[in-house]
Structure 1
Amino acid sequence: MPQFSEARERRNKKTIPIEDYLTTPEGLKYYDVVEGKGPIAEKGSTVQVHFDCIYRNITAVSSRESKLLAGNRIIAQPYEFKVGAAPGKERKRDFVDNPNGLFSAQAAPKPPPAMYSVTEGMRVGGKRTVIVPPEAGYGQKGMNEIPPGSTFELNIELLQVMPPEEK
């Protein structure tokens, strides 16, 4: 029975040894915590993800931060973007401020640039952990609790893939 407890130990171990990470052409290190079973995110396809940026065990930026809507409904909007697109080029959300200012689409957290390329090759249902260096992260500006020039961990969960629109 030793293998059994070993596997459980590995599963419960939170930190993944760096040699288990794969490296993208841009030099980002990533590890698939969960292999998805669904469609593959390819360059040009539009995807919906939830993402969390973890810095020193603190979730600093997250798409799961719920927004309070009228009637006390809470939503956590998945983040939608085109794989391989330049950051900031995604379509603005469909909803806008209503007159009483209850909800603003612009309040959506900004993912690090790394996410636009590192999602490529993921399958729907998959979860990927990425080590994001400052140049692929928030650079010299920083973001929330992530100080300028910091490396942090990005966790991505791929929820949906829409194929590229046929021209």
Structure 2
Amino acid sequence: MTEQTKQNIMEQFKKEDVVVGQGQEAKSGDTLAVHYAGTLADGTKFDSSYDHGEPIEFKLGAGDVIPGWDLGLLGVRVGGKRNLVIPPELAYGDRSAGPIPPNSTLYFTVELVDVK
């Protein structure tokens, strides 16, 4: 991947704090518990932890989730809510994943519930 390609990908990647949390800050290596809702560009919801009734847990920076989450959730604080726009290169790329078509930009609202 060229530097120009990396730069173009990072220009498409967006993160915005909707609510700034007051709790512990998420760092690489921390185990996070988050609630999230994910949609496609047309607004179609493809998954939501709220629908499942409990947050998911994963280790930040360990590759347990898509790269856009590992990048986008660094520095969020417990109680914070962050919107992420993740280009395909930082999500599932040219492969599909369940209801997510190949080459999809993903939109997430992620709420940090706990840092362990």
Whether the TM-score (by the shorter chain) exceeds 0.5 is: yes
CA displacement 1:75-126 (0-9 Å, x = unmatched)? x221111111112xxxxxxxxxxxxxxxxxxxxxxx5331123211000011
Alpha carbons 1:61, 1:144 under 8 Å: kept: no
Aligned counterparts of 1:60 and 1:112: Cα–Cα separation in 2: 15
- Pick the aligned partner of 1:141 from 71, 90, 95: 95
Q: Structure 2: which 5+ residue stretches go unaligned?
A: 1-8
1:37 — aligned with what?
22
Question: Is 1:84–2:61 an aligned residue pair?
Answer: yes
Partners in 2 of 1:133 and 1:156 — Cα distance?
Answer: 16
The TM-score normalised by the length of structure 2 is 0.81
Aligned to 1:73: none
> Which residue does 2:46 correspond to in 1?
60
- Of the three residues 107, 110, 114, the one matched with 1:156 is 110
Larger relative contact order (C-alpha < 8 A, sep ≥ 6)?
Answer: 2
- Does 1:46 find its partner at 2:40? no
What 5-or-longer segments of structure 1 have no aligned partner?
1-25, 67-75, 88-110, 163-167
Query: Compared with structure 1, are the counterparts of its residues 138 and 62 closer, same or farther at alpha carbon in structure 2 (3 Å cutoff)?
Result: farther
Q: Which has the larger radius of gyration?
A: 1
Q: Secondary structure at the match of 2:58?
A: strand
**Distance in 1 between residues matched to 2:19 and 2:45, nearest whole Å:** 20
How many residues were matched structurally? 105
RMSD: 1.7
